Structure formats: structure tokens, C-alpha cells
Amino acid sequence: MRLPLSPNKEDWLKSKIRDIPDFPKPGIIFKDITTLLKDPESFRFVIDTMAEQCSEFKPDYIAAIEARGFILAAAIAYQLEKGFIPIRKPGKLPHRVTRQEYALEYGTDCLEIHVDAVERGHRVVLIDDLLATGGTAAAAQMLIKTAGAEVVGTGFVVELSFLGGRKKLLTKSEETFALITY
């Protein structure tokens, strides 16, 4: 699902995102949202718009994948008066964790969540800055599900639709949103 942004608003948000060629490797054009985050008007718009969408899912918690997802999800959770659940790379969480490995183009990576982060029946919305191939978001969704909660929605600022990441997600299309799409 795409939020109903006007073409002018979508173009305005896209103008706030900087392209970094050949990062993190040659041939990749990295969509850098730090320029959007430093602009108070666009940052407020993103948080307000994503919080409005998240509230429709009636979540108990807002979860995010480190690191840029934390910036967004913490502000959304605060605005909605919900708890925030961090999903991190291995070795970063201090308590017992459950982990989920996922495939990368060359090799694997892993995410972790505290074993007591959520309980059976909790409703969670997962937030991240960008949906590309979908491997990281799908692994985060699986962690939430394994912990016993339900992923009721997933949101991104940017979706690179040509990479097909949405197909890997556990959430249905109507439960997944992105503010802007390339």
C-alpha cells in the first residue's frame, strides 16, 4: 500500500533525499535520508504521516531495525504513546535474545530481539527507513512472530520497488506502506 501522498508532496520528499553513488559498493545508488532528517519540516511530515498510518493498525508496540529505523520508530512510538522494540545486530542487546539469520547477496547476516520484548497476542508495527530486497525486514518480522507477537503492519519511508522486496515480507500488501517509491 502506498500512502495517498500528492505527486507534489512525494516529489518534495524525494528532493530531501540525497543519492550517494557507488555506496556501499560500486553500482549501488544509496538513498541517504539523513538530509531529510535534518530538515525539520520534512522530518515532522514523515513522522506525522507514518504515525497516522501506524495508528490504523492499532499496535501495542512499534519495532524497528537498527539504525535509521530507530530514529523513525522511536518518534512514532512516542507520538502514539506506544512502546518501542529495538531489533539489533548480534551482540548489541544485553539480555537473552532470539536470533534470525537471513541471506545477503554474498553470505548471511543476523538480527536479534530480546526474548521478552513482546508476548503472545501483542500487535506490532515494524518500521525501517528503506525497503530494498526485503531480507532484513523479513528477518525482523520473523523475529517478532517467533517471539509470539503479530506483525500487523510494516512501514518504510522509501521503497525501491524494482528490487521486489515486498514479496519477501510476511505482511500482506495492504499491511505494508511506503511514503515514496522509486
Active site residues: 68, 105
Short-list 147, 127, 131, 143, CA closest to 47: 127
Whether cis (ω within 30° of 0) applies to the bond prior to 4 is: no
Say if residues 141 and 124 touch (Cβ distance below 8 Å): no
Residue bearing cell 492499532? 58
Say if residues 127 and 151 touch (Cβ distance below 8 Å): no
CA atoms of 74 and 109, how far apart (whole Å): 24
Say if residues 163 and 133 touch (Cβ distance below 8 Å): yes
Residue bearing cell 503492519? 153
Short-list 8, 154, 128, 9, CA closest to 73: 128
Q: Which helix (H) or strand (E) holds 158?
A: strand 150-159
